[in-house]
Structure 1
Amino acid sequence: MLEVGEVGREASWAGGGIVSPLYPWRYSSAVSALAHWSQDFYPRFGEQLRLDSGVDPEVHVTGLYWLDLEDEERALQWAKEQGRPLGKVAMETVYAAIPCLGAGFERAICMPDVANVRNPRLLNALKALLKQLPNVKIVEGSGVTGFLRDGEKVRGVSTNNGDMKGSRVLVAAGAWSGELLAKLGVELPVEPVKGQMILYKSAEDFLPSMVLAKGRYAIPRRDGHILVGSTLEHAGFDKTPTNEALESLKASAAELLPALAEAEVVGHWAGLRPGSPEGIPFIGPVPGFEGLWLNCGHYRNGLVLAPASCRLLADLMLERSPIVDPAPYAPAGRLG
């Protein structure tokens, strides 16, 4: 496992950790299929990680309220068709459940079983577990500079630490995946999309549920930390946090949860999402390059789609019956 920097310090670390697409009804069935599988998988996965690694990723079931949605009816119809537990909630019920919520919201829908996971802890747990496995080697500080080829076969990679060979090569480099494939003359439509977040610290019982309005969300952690995000910026590979985004996020925080107007921002950071057409990831072999595989381009849903994406990839590599139809994610026909 080669990592140009430190494992788990890019988009996986920077995201909010909601175990659901922000607006699941706005995505294709391809995204929904992976999301549903992962959502069902995460609770037991989190507990198993805690037991095996000694690090608790804090899979925290809080539910999620969407407030004053423009496409509320579409969301409710999607839930009915998909059999998902999403429904209308009276605003007096919402304000009773979330006393800290800002005034003026008029409509709400809620999915009560949505969880969030604490990204850095999830990644630390995964890293600790991988280090215990005898057949896994993590090589950090190892940037890939090119691919080793034998005719049409890809047989490894060149790195700043020398050549590394293998019968199969998997590109799972997030926003940088397109740059890597370009070394082979392949146009992979994955590009960086910057997102900024801020973090507050409050009482542990301050915010009992996740809330989302006007494209911004607040996520409670078990220890009282509150994440508010996020921006959507096309700024290349620049990850510099900006004052403009800070003030915008603080304004959203104060509108959602007025008590945060007087609270101190204890963290502000940016990450790069791997943007892709319709947010549908690329999972499978690259045509014309035997031995080369992709698992990238998850855009805003990397964390929620990750377990299902990895399971699907393993199914395809091991020629097992796949958990979902692999056709929508296949690189064939989607690359330039």
Structure 2
Amino acid sequence: MADFLIVGGGVIGMMLARELADAGADVTLVERRQCAQESSWAGGGIVSPLYPWRYPQAITALADYSQGFYPQLAAQLKEETGIDPELRQDGLVFLRVADQQAALDWAAQGQRRLEKVDAAFLYETEPDVAPGFSEALWMPDVASIRNPRLGQALRASLQKRANIRLLEETDVVDLYHEEGEVLGVQGKQMVLAARHTILCAGAWTGLLLNKLDQTTAIKPVRGQMILFKAPKGLLNRVVLMDGRYLIPRNDGRILAGSTLEYAGFDKHTTEDALISLRDTAYQIMPRLRDYDIEHHWAGLRPGSLDGIPLMGPVPGYRGLSISAGHFRNGLVLAPAATQVMADQLLQRPPKIDPAPYQLLAD
């Protein structure tokens, strides 16, 4: 019997499995597809909330921890697995920010590096951004990571650990429980037992909790993105305007995203979204008209109330915890989410106060 059974092999589930295993626990991780093929693959990989000053303190506390953690994690994974997650620490440019003063006040209050820059700085930094901007906001410490490569590296890292059992292409259809205690999960052809079960199944987490008559605000929120086959050097930093962004990759490709759609579990792409994303990308960087759109895809974010994740024990059920509902910031918050959950599960003194993320009993 495993010490811990994690349902869901996204970045958050894999990071937690790695942390628990490194603490000496026996861990089973169950994933309905292959690891990191849902929202962990589909996102953009910006290691910051899009407009961080607009978020509640509960999100800011997690984001601050995570942003300082990724350089170390990326280096460890590359050394351990040979797979480079391609962390880029090149900063983020904000164009046309309506609440600019609120952003500057937030930065000053928290002693964060965010500043207003003039047109000369902007166009020296990113010469191919659309002309006509007289100023911008600049956060030099914001990083981005190539999330599919991060997922590959984490998966390879788990496979190297003898005390992690990785079960992919394995559907969980129910939670196995008796007299208020969860003893594991029910698959289509097997029961997997564990001393403690953790639900990290992203947008699907709510469906499993529903089987226990537990309701949460977690629900799928579709996001669509496109990829331009651009040359190296056309864009070197993340650029954000009006809630949409461009993200450069090491090979020159540029991601443009993303939509925010309440369409249930429908992951189909739409022509309207493609046109909207394409036109916004052209507005930010007109030269993208010269390059083909190579790919168009959709993913399902685990939406939640105010974007605040649920991380902790499920009331009324011994042996069951949850880490889900990270909404648009799953990758951003993953290292902090791992810390919050591991400290609770291993009964360690908390490095991050878990109170804002607890499920409340009905």
- Category of TM-score, reference length = shorter chain: over 0.9
Count matched residues: 334
Cα shift at 1:262: 2.3
Residue 259 of structure 2: SS of its match in structure 1? Answer: coil
* Aligned Cα root-mean-square deviation (Å): 0.9
Cα shift at 1:209: 1.2
Q: Which amino acid aligns with 1:137?
A: R
Aligned residue in 1 for 2:258: 230
Cα shift at 1:332: 2.3
Cα shift at 1:105: 2.5
Does 2:347 match 1:319? yes
CA–CA distance in 2 between the matches of 1:175 and 1:161?
A: 23
Q: Deviations over 1:148-195 (max 9, x none)?
A: 112011001101131111110100000111111001110021010000
Q: Which amino acid aligns with 1:310?
A: T
Cα shift at 1:321: 1.1
Residue 61 of structure 1: SS of its match in structure 2? Answer: coil
Superposed, 1:278-293 pairs within 5 Å as 278-293=306-321
Seq. identity, %: 47
Aligned residue in 2 for 1:221: 249
Superposed, 1:6-21 pairs within 5 Å as 6-21=34-49
Find 2:128's aligned residue among 100, 106, 110.
100
Cα shift at 1:44: 1.1
Residue 137 of structure 1: SS of its match in structure 2? Answer: strand
- Structure 1 stretches of 4+ with a deviation exceeding 4 A read none
CA–CA distance in 1 between the matches of 2:135 and 2:355?
A: 38
Cα shift at 1:59: 0.7
Does 2:101 match 1:73? yes
Structure 1 stretches of 5 or more lacking a match?
A: none
Q: Which amino acid aligns with 1:223?
A: D
Residue 195 of structure 1: SS of its match in structure 2? Answer: strand
Cα shift at 1:222: 1.2
Aligned residue in 1 for 2:193: 165
Q: Deviations over 1:16-70 (max 9, x none)?
A: 0000000111111110111010100001110010000110001111100111101
Aligned residue in 1 for 2:25: none
Aligned residue in 1 for 2:267: 239
Paired residues of 1:142 and 1:161 also in contact (CA < 8 A)? no
Does 2:148 match 1:148? no
* TM-score normalised by length of structure 2: 0.91
Aligned residue in 2 for 1:64: 92
Paired residues of 2:339 and 2:352 also in contact (CA < 8 A)? no
CA–CA distance in 2 between the matches of 1:199 and 1:168?
A: 40
CA–CA distance in 1 between the matches of 2:125 and 2:32?
A: 45
CA–CA distance in 1 between the matches of 2:299 and 2:133?
A: 30
CA–CA distance in 2 between the matches of 1:180 and 1:107?
A: 48
Q: Deviations over 1:270-322 (max 9, x none)?
A: 00000000101011101110000000000000001001101110001111111
Aligned residue in 1 for 2:59: 31
Cα shift at 1:324: 1.1
Superposed, 1:109-148 pairs within 5 Å as 109-148=137-176
CA–CA distance in 1 between the matches of 2:256 and 2:150?
A: 19
Aligned residue in 2 for 1:310: 338
CA–CA distance in 1 between the matches of 2:151 and 2:64?
A: 21
Structure 2 stretches of 5 or more lacking a match?
A: 1-28
CA–CA distance in 1 between the matches of 2:163 and 2:141?
A: 36
Find 1:175's aligned residue among 198, 203, 210.
203
Paired residues of 2:81 and 2:153 also in contact (CA < 8 A)? yes
Does 2:76 match 1:48? yes
CA–CA distance in 2 between the matches of 1:53 and 1:160?
A: 32
Paired residues of 1:68 and 1:106 also in contact (CA < 8 A)? no
Could you tell which deviates more after superposition, 292-301 or 152-161? 152-161
* TM-score normalised by length of structure 1: 0.98
Aligned residue in 2 for 1:200: 228
Paired residues of 2:314 and 2:321 also in contact (CA < 8 A)? yes
Aligned residue in 1 for 2:14: none
Superposed, 1:260-279 pairs within 5 Å as 260-279=288-307
Residue 104 of structure 2: SS of its match in structure 1? Answer: helix
Q: Which amino acid aligns with 1:86?
A: L
